[in-house]
Amino acid sequence: MQVNEEKFEPTIVAFCCNWCSYAGADLSGTNRLQYPANVKIIRVPCSCRVNPMFILRAFQRGADGVILCGCHPGDCHYTTGNYFTRRRMTLLFSMLEFLGIEKERTRLEWVSAAEGAKFAATMNDFVATVTKLGKNRRLEDLRCKK
């Protein structure tokens, strides 16, 4: 099916915490490290601000992959936020997989403000992975049409 599609451009939503990952994303820009334009970043104060509702909403509205980036465990600007994130996302991603949504479409990564290169590499990898999976076909027909 996917073979027929000439060039599939997935929609990727990236939630980045303000203190580490958003700064890391800025750094990959400052260093001119490229990653695909499919990635659109939403800035949140902390990865723990990301409500499972946001991720479901993104899938519902047509996202093909959702990635969440936060400070490394132990480095959270708010001390403990990312630890809660890790538990929440562990359960949520597992649940989404349980419902039949490929695990590769969700990802949690720790990217520090110094890891511009890691940010770009992560995004390149994630976009490649989701592109390979193809359109989030599973949900396409069921999506809430606006």
SS3 16: strand
Considering only 20, 67, 89, 127, the residue that binds other proteins (CB under 8 A) is 89
Q: Which is nearer to other proteins, 4 or 146 (CB)?
A: 146
Instruction: Report the C-alpha gap between 79 and 122 in whole angstroms.
Output: 24
User: How many helices (H) and strands (E) would you count in the chain?
Assistant: 5, 4
Contacts to other proteins from residues 57-76, by CB under 8 A:
57-58, 60-63, 73-76
Smallest distance from the beta carbon of 3 to other proteins, in angstroms? 18
Q: Which is nearer to other proteins, 3 or 98 (CB)?
A: 98
Structure tokens at 43: 């800035």
Contacts with other proteins: how many residues (CB under 8 A)? 76
Cα-flanking dihedrals φ and ψ of residue 53, to 5°?
-60, -35
Considering only 20, 44, 67, 127, the residue that binds other proteins (CB under 8 A) is 44
Query: Taking CB under 8 A as the rule, does residue 139 contact other proteins?
Result: yes
Smallest distance from the beta carbon of 38 to other proteins, in angstroms? 8
**DSSP secondary structure letter of residue 71:** P
List beta partners, residue 69.
16, 109
Structure tokens at 33: 């490290």
Cα-flanking dihedrals φ and ψ of residue 90, to 5°?
-55, -45
Q: Which is nearer to other proteins, 95 or 128 (CB)?
A: 95
Smallest distance from the beta carbon of 131 to other proteins, in angstroms? 15
